[in-house]
């Protein structure tokens, strides 16, 4: 188990480096704020820590690519919430969010994690896309990469469905945050090494799922109206993360580092009473896509 945990930690820290290098391809002069932090556990002992990388650039307006490895005692009440009467926790993962400035490039979020509490161990993760312009071919590309990665394991439909059920703004009539992707939690087939290999395999596909879209769109121009729509949708992104996201709640409740958790929020956003895009615009069309859609079989 020790070996597996070390391997998982290596996996996420290597992925962190790779993704940061990809971001820098587009923004070689962007600013990286590098924060390595430590934490105490519930009893005041060494509780691990994390490597936070906050990015600000011209193409990628803001991004966070964080890893953490936390361990030690948690508040017993919190352990109960996680379904355990043992409050000894070990958790390791990578979490990333990329908010490009250009509204033609989607926001992306992904994370991969391994959690052990008491005698329970499981994996979780996923990746989902939040576009602001109806470039359907980009959405098909994203979903096809993940279908190709997950279908050999027989979990594509299940994990896509879980994603469509998770990133929901329930207070907005069930509207989705974006156009989905895949999501899974409490994953454990009984063979941890095999499960590790699964995570290693799929997490390696993240770059292929997203960066070709950045490459295709980053030189495109945009209008004030495009940006206004993007900023309002970013507002919905904030609503989801603060009202509904279990990851945010988990982080804030487990005495996590607030700045590393709320790095997921966009640099700028807007709210307007009863905001709606104008009729006949690409943005109105985009509004019709924030619901479960079988993108892999979508006909252009």
Closest C-alpha among 28, 30, 25 to residue 54? 30
Which position among 270, 277, 287, 293 is part of the footprint of a second copy (CB under 8 A)?
Answer: 270
Closest C-alpha among 66, 109, 59, 61 to residue 214? 59
68 binds a second copy (CB under 8 A): no
Contact pattern for a second copy over residues 37 through 56, marking x by CB under 8 A: -----------------x-x
95 binds a second copy (CB under 8 A): no
Q: For a second copy, give the closer residue by CB, 33 or 151.
A: 33
Contacts of 300 (CB under 8 A, 6+ apart): 136, 137, 140
103 binds a second copy (CB under 8 A): no
128/137 Cα distance (integer angstroms): 16
268 binds a second copy (CB under 8 A): yes
4 binds a second copy (CB under 8 A): no
92/115 Cα distance (integer angstroms): 7
Residues in 198-257 at the binding interface with a second copy, rule: CB under 8 A: 231, 235, 238-239, 242-243, 252
> What Rg do the C-alpha atoms of the chain give, in angstroms?
19
84/167 Cα distance (integer angstroms): 26
Q: How far is the CB of 73 from a second copy (least distance, A)?
A: 21
223/34 Cα distance (integer angstroms): 33
Contact pattern for a second copy over residues 168 through 187, marking x by CB under 8 A: ---xx---------------
Question: Among 99, 109, 143, 232, which one carries the catalytic annotation?
Answer: 109
**Which window, 16-24, 87-95, 196-204, 270-278, contacts a second copy (CB under 8 A)?**
270-278
274 binds a second copy (CB under 8 A): yes
What distances in angstroms separate CA 78 from CA 73, 84, 125, 226, 243, one per listed residue?
10, 9, 21, 42, 19
Which position among 149, 263, 282, 283 is part of the footprint of a second copy (CB under 8 A)?
Answer: 263
Q: Is 171 labeled as catalytic in the residue annotation? A: no
Contacts of 197 (CB under 8 A, 6+ apart): none
Closest C-alpha among 130, 88, 74 to residue 264? 130
67 binds a second copy (CB under 8 A): no
Positions touching a second copy (CB under 8 A) are 33, 35, 54, 56, 62, 64, 171-172, 231, 235, 238-239, 242-243, 252, 258-259, 262-263, 265-274
Catalytic residues: 109
């Amino acid at each position: 188990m020790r070996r597996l945990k070390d391997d998982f930690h290596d996996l996420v820290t290597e992925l962190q480096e790779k993704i940061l290098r990809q971001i820098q391809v587009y923004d070689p002069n962007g600013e990286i704020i590098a924060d390595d932090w430590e934490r105490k556990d519930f009893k005041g002992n060494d509780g691990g820590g994390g490597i936070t990388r906050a990015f600000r650039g011209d193409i990628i307006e803001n991004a966070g690519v964080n890893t953490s490895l936390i361990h030690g005692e948690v508040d017993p009440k919190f352990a109960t919430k996680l379904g355990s009467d043992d409050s000894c926790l070990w958790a390791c993962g990578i979490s990333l969010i990329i908010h490009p400035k250009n509204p033609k490039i989607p926001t992306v979020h992904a994370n991969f994690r391994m959690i052990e509490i008491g005698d329970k161990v499981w994996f979780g993760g996923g990746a989902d896309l939040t576009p602001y312009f109806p470039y359907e071919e980009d959405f098909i590309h994203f979903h096809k990469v993940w279908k190709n990665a997950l279908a050999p394991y027989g979990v594509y439909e299940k994990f896509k469905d879980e994603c469509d059920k998770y990133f929901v703004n329930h207070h907005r009539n069930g509207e989705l945050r974006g156009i989905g992707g895949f999501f899974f939690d409490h994953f454990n087939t009984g063979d941890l090494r095999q499960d590790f290999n699964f995570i290693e395999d799929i997490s390696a596909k993240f770059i292929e799922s997203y960066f070709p879209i950045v490459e295709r769109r980053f030189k495109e121009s945009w209008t004030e109206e495009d940006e206004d729509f993007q900023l309002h949708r970013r507002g919905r992104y904030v609503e989801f993360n603060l009202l509904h996201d279990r990851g945010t709640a988990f982080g804030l409740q487990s005495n996590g580092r607030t700045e590393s958790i709320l790095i997921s929020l966009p640099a700028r956003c807007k709210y307007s009473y009863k905001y709606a895009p104008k009729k006949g615009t690409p943005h109105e069309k985009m509004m019709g896509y924030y619901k479960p859609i079988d993108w892999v079989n979508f006909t252009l």
